[in-house]
Structure 1
Amino acid sequence: MSIAQTIRPHLPYLRRFARSLTGAQETGDAYVATLLESLVSTPSDFPTEVPPRVALYHLFLRVWNSVRLVTPNAEDVQATVAVAQRRINSISSLPRQAFLLVAVEGFTAAEAATILEVGEKDIESLLDVAGQEIAHQVATNVLIIEDELLIAMDLETIVTSLGHSVQDVATTKSEALAAVKRQKPGLILADVKLADGSSGLDAVKEIVAEGDVPIIFITAYPEKVLTGARPEPTFLISKPFQRETVMAIISQALFFDTKAHLRPAAA
């Protein structure tokens, strides 16, 4: 199979990534075109020891990190960039790349490490930096609905390390609803099966019926979320989870919440 045939299915996603990274589709496409021109002239540069999508993004970021392109009307295009894009542009370069690769493009930490030529531990550090920079823009109060103490403590540590505040830890549906009555959260992390046999999914449905709030389900029973009429906007993480995955999804949930702003954090 030729390189063109190999990379063709991945190009739409690379263009999306390039737009997010550069701030404008025109500029992103210019970088993609530069990469394609390079591959035409030196096809041997395309790595064969890693999956094609990993190889493609790896080569693209080599171009991005080594070449600076100027496109016509870049300032005019930038003036129309949406809220989420402005937030992306504000993140430091390498943490932004790691965040987009993991949270938006769906690469694993290991794949992102290969693409960026860093270690997996470095990816976690980069996601931490990205999460903290995002938190400066959209720091919020987080409600955790989780009945397993150790997992709840782990989630609290992740939330606070990103600069957010833990509003409450609820172990049952009734506790969750009571917590929301006291203060509306800016983000909810919820398990599905709770201590008293109640449902975190049911709790969340009642909460979002009163107003939109980003939801991240963290559960050992993902099928309970995927097969039902889940509330939106919803993100899903399966247990056991990786710390860097939770960090990236928290940042993603708040990053692309168009109503997100510096909400008052719980005291």
Structure 2
Amino acid sequence: MTESSRDILVRTLPMARRYARALTGSQEAGDGLVAEALRGDLPPLEPRLALYAAITERAPERPDAQGLSARQRQLLLLTALEDLTIDEAGQVVGLSGEEAGRELEEARAALRATAATDVLVIEDEPIIAMDVRRLVEACGHRVVGVAASEAEAVRLATEKKPGLILADINLGRGGDGSAAVARIQKSMRVPVIFVTAYPERLLTARGAEPTFIISKPFEPRALAIATYQATTTSSVPIV
């Protein structure tokens, strides 16, 4: 492997870890998948795509109540969460761009039929909170509360018992979104998606990290897919 290829892999690693944990539903399983991929031979693709492909190849099959295939889940995450083009995502999963496009259309149709859940939004910026609420509701979910501070988030979670939490990290004077989530998860098991402009800061491989992370600014489709993965794959607290 050339030094240039190695540098690309190092830069790709945090996002590849995000992809792997979104596939598996936990930090431990996702990081184990990445480690396994790096120990083996990478496929003959450009380094960034090769790492995604090696992870995809080793990803476990998961039952899906909504009828999505493993390949469709992978394509959705690669294009919406990781910002790969349809052609690039096709290379990762071993399909032509045309085949990948057809699979994605079927997967998106299935997503639109997904059952809704109650969502608590933790966001201190009023305009951003309004935009997030609009996007969440456009995905078919119900926003049961918007918290601008750590204390308010804990109170609303206790009262509303949400099925999903969408949390910003930095709440300004209102505290820390991750601290609010940690307090909430002491009393209830609920999947969480963290929204941040700097996802790499949460993917340092030091200690516990969020399982589901989307980058600001985000597209509605990325939010739809992240909420779907969080509510259908997560089985343990995400701190």
TM-score (structure 2 length as normaliser): 0.59
Corresponding residue of 2:77? 103
Relative to structure 2, which stretch is displaced further, 181-190 or 144-153?
A: 144-153
Percent identity between matched residues is: 34
Radius of gyration: which is bigger? 1
Corresponding residue of 2:202? 225
The 5 A counterparts of 1:71-86 are 84-86=62-64
User: Relative to 1, partners in 2 of residues 1:174 and 1:197: Cα closer, same or farther, differing over 3 Å?
Assistant: closer
Q: How big is the shift at 1:229? A: 4.6
Corresponding residue of 1:72? none
Q: How big is the shift at 1:216? A: 0.7
User: Relative to 1, partners in 2 of residues 1:177 and 1:161: Cα closer, same or farther, differing over 3 Å?
Assistant: same
Write the letter of the residue equivalent to 2:144: Q
SS in 2 for 1:188: strand
Structure 2 unaligned residues grouped into runs of 5+ = 1-23, 25-43, 55-60
Higher relative contact order (CA 8 A, sep 6+): 2
SS in 2 for 1:241: coil
Q: Give, in whole Å, the separation in 2 of the partners of 1:217 and 1:241.
A: 12
Write the letter of the residue equivalent to 1:245: A
Corresponding residue of 2:3? none
Q: How big is the shift at 1:223? A: 5.2
The 5 A counterparts of 1:234-245 are 234-245=211-222
Structure 1 unaligned residues grouped into runs of 5+ = 1-19, 21-46, 58-81, 260-267
Count residues with an aligned counterpart: 184
Q: How big is the shift at 1:132? A: 2.5
Question: 2:166 is matched with which residue: 173, 179, 189?
Answer: 189
SS in 2 for 1:155: helix
TM-score (structure 1 length as normaliser): 0.54
Q: Give, in whole Å, the separation in 2 of the partners of 1:201 and 1:48.
A: 37
Corresponding residue of 2:40? none
Q: Give, in whole Å, the separation in 1 of the partners of 2:104 and 2:134.
A: 14
Q: Is the counterpart of residue 215 in structure 1 residue 189 in structure 2?
A: no
Corresponding residue of 1:152? 129
Backbone CA RMSD of aligned residues: 4.3
User: Relative to 1, partners in 2 of residues 1:180 and 1:117: Cα closer, same or farther, differing over 3 Å?
Assistant: same
Q: Give, in whole Å, the separation in 1 of the partners of 2:231 and 2:220.
A: 17
1:174-204 alpha-carbon deviations (Å, 9 max, x no partner): 1111111211111101001114241001100
Question: 2:225 is matched with which residue: 219, 231, 248?
Answer: 248
Q: Is the counterpart of residue 176 in structure 1 residue 153 in structure 2?
A: yes
User: Relative to 1, partners in 2 of residues 1:242 and 1:172: Cα closer, same or farther, differing over 3 Å?
Assistant: same
